[in-house]
């Protein structure tokens, strides 16, 4: 099958939009806004999966799209919002690295992933696959950056979830990727979120704060006797 110009452009546009939302995630200062941006990223990812399913003639990608939409655009953001409201947390984002430096680092990471992926895949694969892969790797790296640059447990969790968005973006872009991987990823992200949710609640119980910086005190080695 060949890619005409329209399917290519739309897939590219959607992939780019997912990456754009990773940048949006990085400059939010309120947790509600972070959660909102994550929901939009989930919806865009679902749209990208849907479009790839259509363009590749691979109907199982519709399932991936549906799962991504249900879990990442609706369920997880809703659960996080409820958690935020119930717990009455302070809602600003605590940063370990300021917004400006984070964005600069993000741009550097996108450059890095383009420089790594495009030459490595030059011998083979269609342009769409290669560029999609570069976009996906950027989303993965930006997710990691968010986990490093934010101190709040919910922000870190969203960083991890957005990192997984990047993985799914990579998986749907590669033609004929076996179904196993997509389904399992989608199911497991939900499990990850569930387990993490349990942790967040436990953290709340024990420590009355979600700032993971405070956790460093709990390390087992303790003070010298």
Partner 1 sequence: MMPLPWLVVFLPWLGAVALALAPPRGRLPALVNLGVAGGFCALALGLLGAEHGVQGWTRTDAVNLPLVALSGLIGLASAAFSAATLDCERFDGLRARAYHAAFQIFLGAQALALLSDNLGVMWVAIEIATLSSVLMVAVHGTPSAIEAAWKFFVLCGVGIALALFGTILLYLAAQPLVGQGDPGLSWGALRAVAAHCDPGILSLAFVFLLVGYGTKAGLVPLHAWLPDAEAEGPLPMSAVLSGLLLNAALLAVLRAKAVVGLHPGALAPGPLLVGFGLASLLLAAFALWRRRDARRLFAWSSIEHVGLSAIAFGLGAPFAGMLHLMGHSLVKSAVFFGVGAAAQIKGSQKIAEIGGLAASHPALGWGLALGIAGLAGLPPFALFVSEFLLVAQAAARQPWLILPLGLGLLVGATALIRVLQALCLGEPTPDRPVPGGFALPGGLLWATLPLWSLLALAVLLGFALPPGLAALLSDAAVLLE
Interface residue with partner 1, options 61, 153, 158, 186 (CB under 8 A): 153
Subset of residues 179 to 218 that bind partner 1, contact rule: CB under 8 A: 180-181, 184-185, 188, 191-192, 195-196, 199, 202-203, 206-207, 212, 215, 218
Among 77, 155, 156, 158, contact with partner 1 (rule: CB under 8 A)? 156
Site string for partner 1, 109-138 (x = CB under 8 A): -------xx-xxxxxxx---x---x--xx-
| 219 is an interface residue for partner 1 by CB under 8 A | yes
Among residue numbers 6 through 65, which ones bind partner 1 (CB under 8 A)?
Answer: none
Q: How far is CA 190 from CA 29, 128, 184, in A?
A: 25, 29, 10
Identify which range of 10-18, 64-72, 100-108, 178-186 contacts partner 1 by CB under 8 A: 178-186
Among 26, 154, 158, 170, binds partner 1 (CB under 8 A): 170
Give residues in contact with partner 1 (CB under 8 A). 116-117, 119-125, 129, 133, 136-137, 140, 143-144, 147, 153, 156, 160, 163-164, 166-167, 170-171, 174-178, 180-181, 184-185, 188, 191-192, 195-196, 199, 202-203, 206-207, 212, 215, 218-222, 224-225
């Amino acid at each position: 099958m060949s890619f005409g110009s329209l399917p290519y452009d739309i897939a590219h546009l959607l992939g780019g939009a997912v990456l754009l939302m990773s940048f949006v995630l990085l400059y939010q200062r309120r947790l509600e806004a972070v959660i909102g941006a994550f929901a939009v990223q989930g919806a865009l990812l679902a749209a990208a999966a849907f479009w790839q399913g259509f363009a590749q003639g691979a109907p199982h990608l519709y399932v991936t799209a549906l799962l991504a939409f249900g879990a990442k655009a609706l369920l997880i953001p809703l659960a996080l919002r409820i958690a935020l409201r119930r717990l009455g947390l302070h809602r600003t984002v605590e940063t370990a690295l300021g917004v400006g430096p984070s964005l600069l680092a993000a741009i550097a990471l996108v450059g890095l992933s383009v420089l790594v992926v495009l030459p490595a895949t030059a011998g083979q694969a269609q342009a769409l696959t290669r560029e999609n892969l570069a976009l996906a790797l950027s989303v993965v790296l930006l997710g990691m950056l968010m986990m490093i640059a934010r101190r709040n447990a919910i922000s870190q969790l969203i960083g991890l979830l957005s990192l997984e968005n990047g993985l799914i973006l990579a998986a749907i872009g590669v033609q004929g990727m076996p179904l196993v991987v997509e389904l399992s990823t989608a199911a497991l992200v939900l499990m990850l979120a569930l387990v993490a949710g349990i942790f967040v609640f436990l953290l709340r119980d024990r420590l009355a704060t979600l700032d993971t910086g405070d956790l460093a005190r709990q390390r087992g080695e303790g003070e010298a006797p």
